[in-house]
Structure 1
Amino acid sequence: MKKLLFSIFVLLLSIGGLQAQTKLDTLLPVRGFCIAAPESNEIENFIKFINEELAPRQVNTIILRVDYNYEFKSHPEIRDSLALSRKDVKKLVKACQQHNIHLIPQINLFGHQSWATKTYSLLRVYPEFDETPHVKMPAKYAWPNDDGLYCKSYCPLHPEVHKVVLALVDEICDAFESKAFHAGMDEVFYIGHDKCPRCKGHDKAELFAGEVNLIRNHLAQQNRKLWIWGDRLIDGKTTGIGEWEASMNNTHRAVDLIAKDVVICDWHYERPDPTAVYFAMKGFNVITCPWRKPRIAVTQTQDMLRFKEIAPKDMKPRYFGMMQTIWSSNKSFLEEFYGIKVNEKAGENTSAQCFRAMFDEIKKVNTP
């Protein structure tokens, strides 16, 4: 009799756990974490973090910002000096598979081809792809500047650029065994420049949409989905959101020109702007993404759940979930998270605290 009662008790516990998991998967299908890829000698530390921190919080998606930090065989000339090997990547893939975590690689496409005084390897190796070759990288970077330089872009109409970037996309997706790819595409300031012989005079919304759809269509041939950041699809002037978290260079109309199966990662870091509703109304699956302000992240999580609760039936599935974003290096974040190096001046406004606050709020979904 005792064995029977114990078996019933275990069964009830498992049913309760299954019901709680089903509820969480229904309300927040994506519980994500976005961070830069670790360097090769930091992989074991990151896997420890996956096992001990991400999996227990029921994170089911990791966006790993790889960019050119991989030992590409299709274009080895693009590799960065600290590139991950295929063996390194397989360690990460295995760790994520053990916890049913979808590991999605990111390479920044279109924009973000430079940072501060450094040109990244695509334009360094292939300078002919540069949308603005007349803009020279400064010895000392400052914003704003006379050239309007934030980050370089590649020219989406260059006849050779996609032979290179799409080969990188295919290779990195194969290595990560991923059914999705994140193309970045945020903060594209250089687009349709009036000195570009190919892009001059073109509608910037059509240029942006054309690049999104080209990448999306290529991925679809391998049954893969495209994820992008959403800022270029928001009208920064009409909304008052401005030039960073929205567009002031007329790319926002691309929202009506791109395929509806593109997943939108909607980031807002200073205010909980409710643009998830906008993207859902436009027909997109949308994920809200905080960064370093815990109170903002909590509000955004509550909003995502509320939007889903009150939405019409057809819109409910489009509220896809939440994703914490990290914009320091992998190593720096882990040092912050484990208290090895703490920024006392930041107070509570750190990405580590934001991460904890967001997932504490998500935990309440399964709390009676």
Structure 2
Amino acid sequence: MKKIFAFTLSLFISFLAFGQESLPVRGLAIAAPNKGNLDRFVKFMNEELAPRSVNTLILRVDYNFQYKSHPELVNDNALRQKDVDKLVAAAQKGGISLIPQINLLGHQSWHSDLEKLLQVYPEFDETPGIKLPEKYVWPNEDGLYCKSYCPLHPDVHEVVFEIVDEIIEAFKADAFHAGMDEVFYLGHEDCPRCQGRDKAELFAGEVTKIRNHLAENEKRLWIWGDRLIDGKTTGIGLWEASYNNTHRAIDMIPKDVMICDWHYERVDPTAVMFAMKGFDVATSPWRKTDLAIKQKEMMTELRANATPEMKEHFTGMVQTVWSGVDGFLDRFYGNSEEDSDAKCFKALFEKE
């Protein structure tokens, strides 16, 4: 009887070890909390992330930190270093890799509002002739979704790299997420430096420049993967993939860039493409729980059936949240039956 129990226990432990090993990246990507909801979020980290074996936390900081290198870029109510220290302590306690994010290249505006970089440095704007409307609608004549900074402006990287370095140090991070999703404005005719240039080369050049800067201090670059997918050939479309030919950059950027491959409407198997190109990739769902479960099953199957050379490129899952922290936590603790990012997160990472 004891032998049967020992054998059963051994199988159970092996099963748990296999399950954990099969998804080495178990992540959450969410906006950094502000000072008002900081303690609530730290409590969530302590009580929910570690017990669910979540080991990666990507926090969209952007300009919500009190940068000393560029105080002109600080938003109101920004986190102080002592606030960040609470996040770092909770992450270290739970064995969680904390990865700060600042949107680089694209997402320099939202609807009718500029983000801080282009507010303060309008000369960095890739499309200075396109003005933000009082009331934003999509689609529009200018093809405006979000503004971009010009990757060829001679002064832009001096500014953004200083805040990137500062936020990495503040979070004691080994990696940095640069966003770089949904870049529609690139190589635009309004830009005297970029007009007429190959958009794939421009995108690849910016990814490589950021990656090389981080590599100088042995930090790793993470980005969203949509601009590296051919939206027309795959039929995936212009949001989750590229319609402006940036997809060819996949063959021009360093292979140690980590890809977060987001898909919210279908279980698109593009992780295979990234892995076959030599990239580590994590699949990223949002708020459709049935799709998230299928995506997790696909990722697990890919790791289980891949060759040793391919297996390690299929790293796991990163749940995305596009609301503020309070909204997500309200949904998480509200236990609503309605499908949401919180329900999706719970389904992906069950409490042990």
Return the TM-score normalized by structure 1: 0.91
Contact 1:234 1:247 in 2 (8 A): yes
* 126, 142, 147: which one aligns with 1:152: 147
* 183, 187, 197: which one aligns with 2:182: 187
Q: Using the alignment, how far apart are the partners of 1:170 and 1:176 within structure 2?
A: 10
The AA in structure 2 aligned to 1:308 is R
The corresponding residue for 2:61 is 66
Pairing of 1:22-33 with structure 2 (within 5 A) = 22-33=17-28
Pairing of 1:74-153 with structure 2 (within 5 A) = 74-153=69-148
The AA in structure 1 aligned to 2:349 is F
The AA in structure 2 aligned to 1:35 is I
Change in CA separation of 1:30 and 1:139 when aligned onto 2, cut-off 3 Å: same
Contact 2:49 2:94 in 1 (8 A): no
* 323, 328, 339: which one aligns with 1:328: 323
The AA in structure 1 aligned to 2:288 is K
The corresponding residue for 1:305 is 300
Change in CA separation of 1:21 and 1:175 when aligned onto 2, cut-off 3 Å: farther
User: Deviation above 3 Å: which 4+ runs of structure 1?
Assistant: 15-22
Q: Helix, strand or coil: the match of 1:242?
A: coil
Deviations 1:284-312 (A, max 9, x none): 00000000000000000000011111212
Q: Using the alignment, how far apart are the partners of 1:22 and 1:77 within structure 2?
A: 48
The corresponding residue for 1:366 is none
Q: What is the CA distance between 1:349 and its match in structure 2?
A: 2.3
The answer to whether 1:34 aligns with 2:34 is no
The corresponding residue for 1:354 is 344
The corresponding residue for 1:213 is 208
Pairing of 1:163-182 with structure 2 (within 5 A) = 163-182=158-177
Contact 1:288 1:300 in 2 (8 A): yes
Alignment length, in residue pairs?
Answer: 348
Q: Using the alignment, how far apart are the partners of 2:13 and 2:238 within structure 1?
A: 44
Contact 2:108 2:118 in 1 (8 A): yes
Q: What is the CA distance between 1:16 and its match in structure 2?
A: 8.1
Q: What is the CA distance between 1:24 and its match in structure 2?
A: 3.6
The corresponding residue for 2:274 is 279
Q: Using the alignment, how far apart are the partners of 1:95 and 1:51 within structure 2?
A: 6
Change in CA separation of 1:78 and 1:17 when aligned onto 2, cut-off 3 Å: farther
Q: What is the CA distance between 1:336 and its match in structure 2?
A: 1.3
Q: Helix, strand or coil: the match of 2:51?
A: coil
Contact 1:294 1:348 in 2 (8 A): no
The answer to whether 1:51 aligns with 2:41 is no
* 266, 269, 282: which one aligns with 2:264: 269
Q: What is the CA distance between 1:21 and its match in structure 2?
A: 5.8
* 290, 295, 299: which one aligns with 2:285: 290
Return the TM-score normalized by structure 2: 0.95
Q: What is the CA distance between 1:337 and its match in structure 2?
A: 1.1
Q: What is the CA distance between 1:17 and its match in structure 2?
A: 8.6
Q: Helix, strand or coil: the match of 1:34?
A: strand
Q: What is the CA distance between 1:356 and its match in structure 2?
A: 1.2
Q: Using the alignment, how far apart are the partners of 2:279 and 2:109 within structure 1?
A: 29
Q: Using the alignment, how far apart are the partners of 2:216 and 2:286 within structure 1?
A: 33
Contact 2:128 2:190 in 1 (8 A): no
Q: Using the alignment, how far apart are the partners of 1:311 and 1:23 within structure 2?
A: 15
Q: Using the alignment, how far apart are the partners of 1:218 and 1:201 within structure 2?
A: 26
The AA in structure 1 aligned to 2:339 is N
Q: Helix, strand or coil: the match of 1:84?
A: coil
* 296, 309, 315: which one aligns with 2:310: 315
Deviations 1:238-288 (A, max 9, x none): 000000000000000000000000000000001110100110001000000
